[in-house]
Amino acid sequence: MGRLRVLTLNCWNVSAPLEARMAVARDEVAALAPDVIALQEIVVRADGFDQGALVLGDAGWARVFGPAYCWDEAGGVRFDAGARAGFGNLIAARWPIRRSAVRRLPGLDGEEPRAALAALVETPDGLLPVVTTHLDWEHDHGFVRERQVLALASLVEEWAHAATLPPIVAGDLNADPDSTEVRFLCGRAALGGQRIDLEDAWLAAGDGGPGFTWDNRNPYAAYAGEPDRRIDYILVGRPARVEAAALALDTPRDGVLASDHFGVVADVWLPGGTGPLTSHPRGAAARDDR
């Protein structure tokens, strides 16, 4: 049996003031001392720029990057699971990462591809499956996100079967807690004959308040004129238990915040062993290990 701390943050890509924001993020990550980190909107370029390194510093993290898309010579975007540069998701852990995979998520033609990144982390208590993602953002694209969470559930199931600990799913879902997408992931709605039962860390043990991660108190978010809402999540597979959850990186330093999103941090108790989490039709997408 083990306990670990999980942190998730949408890093707002390379938006200004980048260096100041990443310095805040790096210091806050060090202060929070998480065991597992899920980051979204991470940019890695062919010229050697690595936004993940700016956030994580030189603390010796094991980490993997999974591109949602990369850029072609004409300035367009394309999905390439094996690309070493691009825009996407990152998983970091204090322990070795045995293997990882990138899975493209369903979307609409002509729009930015979305992807999920999965990793198996070799913790002292067993193999921990971790999945992070950044779903479609448009308010009226709940129907797209519904397709995306179906693919996400299949990916989580695959990696849970390869592990000895319950899975952690973290990221920017761009959906409210009462949306069909989030209710499906938490076992409160069915989609496409498939089901999954993950626990929302904030509902289980949030430290009070609505837990808004897109909040007009944040000047980087306020410019958009959108309502406050909770769209960033840490979800855990049962029989894990969430002991505490709180907003993170939500306090400015000299007027600078780490991102246009606030992060979420959760302390999770993980018992060993887990059974099937989902039930879905035949024909699930094939595993894409690398």
Read off the pLDDT of each residue in 218-241 and give the average, rounded to a whole number.
96
**How much is the pLDDT for 1?**
57
Tell whether domain 2-270 is in CATH 3.40.640.10.
no
Average pLDDT of every residue of the chain:
92
Read off the pLDDT of each residue in 110-135 and give the average, rounded to a whole number.
95
- What CA–CA distance (Å, rounded) separates 121 from 63? 10
On the CB side of 73, how many CA atoms lie within 13 Å of its CA?
Answer: 0
DSSP bridge partners of 86? 44
Q: Higher-confidence residue: 58 or 159?
A: 159
**How much is the pLDDT for 110?**
84
Q: Starting at the earlier edge strand, list the strands of the sheet with 62-71.
A: 77-78, 62-71, 86-93, 36-44, 2-10, 263-270, 241-248
Read off the pLDDT of each residue in 57-75 and give the average, rounded to a whole number.
90
| Residues of the chain above pLDDT 90, percent | 84
Q: Does the pLDDT of residue 78 top 50, yes or no?
A: yes
The 10s digit of each residue's pLDDT in 161-216 is: 999 999 999 999 999 999 999 999 999 999 999 999 999 999 999 998 999 999 99
**How much is the pLDDT for 282?**
29
Read off the pLDDT of each residue in 49-57 and give the average, rounded to a whole number.
97
**How much is the pLDDT for 2?**
81
Read off the pLDDT of each residue in 135-147 and give the average, rounded to a whole number.
95
**How much is the pLDDT for 89?**
98
**Exposure pattern of 17-54 as b/e (b: 16+ CB <10 Å)?**
eeeebbbbbbebbeeeebbbbbbbbbbbeeeeebbbbb
Q: Does the pLDDT of residue 290 top 70, yes or no?
A: no
pLDDT bin (cut points 50, 70, 90) of residue 72 is confident
CA-to-CA separations, 246 to 205, 236, 265, in angstroms, rounded? 8, 15, 5
pTM: 0.93
Read off the pLDDT of each residue in 96-112 and give the average, rounded to a whole number.
95
Q: Does the pLDDT of residue 126 top 60, yes or no?
A: yes
Tokens at residue 163, please? 């592990």
**How much is the pLDDT for 274?**
45
